[in-house]
Amino acid sequence: MSLTSFIAEKDVKAKFREVFPLPQIWLEPHPMAEPLTNHYTLIGTAFDYLLRFSLERLHAHTVRKPWIAELAAIGQYYSITRIYSKARAEQSVRIVEEARQHHRQYLQSGILLEELLCSVLLLAQIDPFFRAGKLYEPFGVIDTLDIEDLKRLFAIIPFDRFSSRSVCLLDPTFGSSNLVGGADVDLVLDETMIDIKTTKFLQIKREYIDQLLGYYALYRLGGVTGMPEGHMIGHLGIYFSRHGYLYTCPVSQLVQETTFLDFLFWFEQRAKHLYGDPLQALH
């Protein structure tokens, strides 16, 4: 269960299209860093780690939560042991410990060493266990082309577009995340929520907008974990990492406040009907 699963429900998808007609959005063409392998999901997750590490180094006010790979390797150690083996569980823990060391070194030096790139690829191999109960296969194996791919993606990051005055939240959850069985957005920079897409296609798909609107609905229902009290989200964004392009738009371009409160009520009630009331589950 997750926000992605919720907004994929047929009636939920239809409701989003009814309430939020998609405006015509034109994106200027940008050169693309072509993928070097077909390990698309792995590279996407690894790049998420790499970009977050880079922003953490840039912004002293960064707030981050434990990595998903940490939660899996350490918090679900016995589950990995049961499903795979104790050796595999111990290997996962070692990967996290080494990644922590390389992460600290990068924050101090700012030098992008190959060891860090290997670490983010290995962390990305652990992540699926937390969300789906299985590790990436072949586990623990690194393709040198994936390292080169990450170097190229890192080289085109427009860091000037990722500046932050006061708020930098990495992979934060929402106070209402349990409503849909779990949800976290890649980044919150000042008043902008950003989703990262490592895709060859530089285009705004309907499902991308629905995902952002789902995040925004959860924010309006329960706030963003770690965000200062009274801080407001006013923009939504998508970073197309293969194109080095950050698209942002005002919330008002997508959301009409006069109808949004009714939508929020519907959203909350539909989620409770589908997944159960998270507050009742506590009793």
- Which residue among 134, 155, 176 closes a domain? 155
Domain boundary among 155, 190, 215: 155
List 196's β-bridge partners, or say none. 239
- Would you say residue 16 lies in a domain? yes
**Whole domain around residue 97: which residue ranges?**
40-50+65-155
On whether residue 55 sits in a domain, the answer given is no
Q: What is the pLDDT of residues 175-222, one digit of tens each?
A: 999 999 889 999 999 999 999 999 999 999 999 999 999 999 999 999
Query: What is the dihedral sign for C-alpha 122, 64, 131, 245?
Result: negative
246 by DSSP, 3-state: which?
strand
CA distances from 165 to 58, 124, 162 (A): 11, 29, 10
The verdict on residue 271 lying in a domain is yes
Residue at token pair 């995902």:
211
Q: What is the DSSP letter of 23?
A: P
Do 270 and 194 share a structural domain?
A: yes
Q: DSSP secondary structure string, 49-109?
A: HHHHHHHHHH-TTEEEPPPHHHHHHTTTHHHHHHHT-HHHHHHHHHHHHHHHHHHHHHHHH
pLDDT average, residue stretch 134-153: 98
Q: Does pLDDT of 281 surpass 80?
A: no
104, 127, 155 - which closes a domain: 155
Q: Are 190 and 167 in contact (CB under 8 A)?
A: yes
Residue identified by tokens 């016995």 is 78
Residue 65 confidence (pLDDT): 93
Segment 27-76, tens digit of pLDDT: 888 889 999 999 999 999 999 999 999 999 999 999 999 999 999 999 99
130 and 22 fall within a common domain:
no
Instruction: Say whether both 241 and 260 belong to one domain.
Output: yes
Cα–Cα distance measured from residue 37 to residue 39, given in angstroms and rounded to the nearest whole number: 5
Question: CA torsion sign, 35 to 117 to 133 to 83?
Answer: positive
> Strand pairing of 192-197 and 235-240?
parallel
> pLDDT tens digits for 249-280?
999 999 999 999 999 999 999 999 988 876 55
Q: For the whole model, what pTM was predicted?
A: 0.94
Going by pLDDT thresholds of 50, 70 and 90, the confidence category of residue 283 is very low
Residue 138: cis peptide before it, omega within 30 degrees of 0: yes
Tokens of 125: 């191999």
* 108 and 248 fall within a common domain: no
pLDDT for position 49: 98
Provide the pLDDT for residue 278.
65
* 208 located within any domain: yes
pLDDT of residue 279: 55
Question: Is the same domain home to 150 and 44?
Answer: yes
Query: Is there a single domain that holds both residue 119 and residue 259?
Result: no
Q: How far apart are CA 99 and CA 107, in angstroms?
A: 12
- The number of domains in the chain is 2
| Ramachandran angles phi, psi of 236, nearest 5° | -120, 145
pLDDT digits (tens, 9 = 90+) for 98-119: 999 999 999 999 999 999 999 9
**Distance (Å, whole) CA 72 – CA 79:** 9
70, part of any domain: yes
- Collapsing DSSP to helix, strand or coil, 31 comes out as coil
Residues 44 and 150 both lie in one domain: yes
**Which parts of the chain fold into alpha helices (H)?**
3-8, 10-19, 40-58, 68-73, 77-83, 86-109, 114-132, 144-155, 206-222, 257-275, 278-281
- The confidence band for 282, taking pLDDT boundaries of 50, 70 and 90, is very low
Structure tokens at 2: 């997750």
Phi, psi of 23 (to 5 degrees): -70, 160
Strand-pair partners of 236: 193, 249
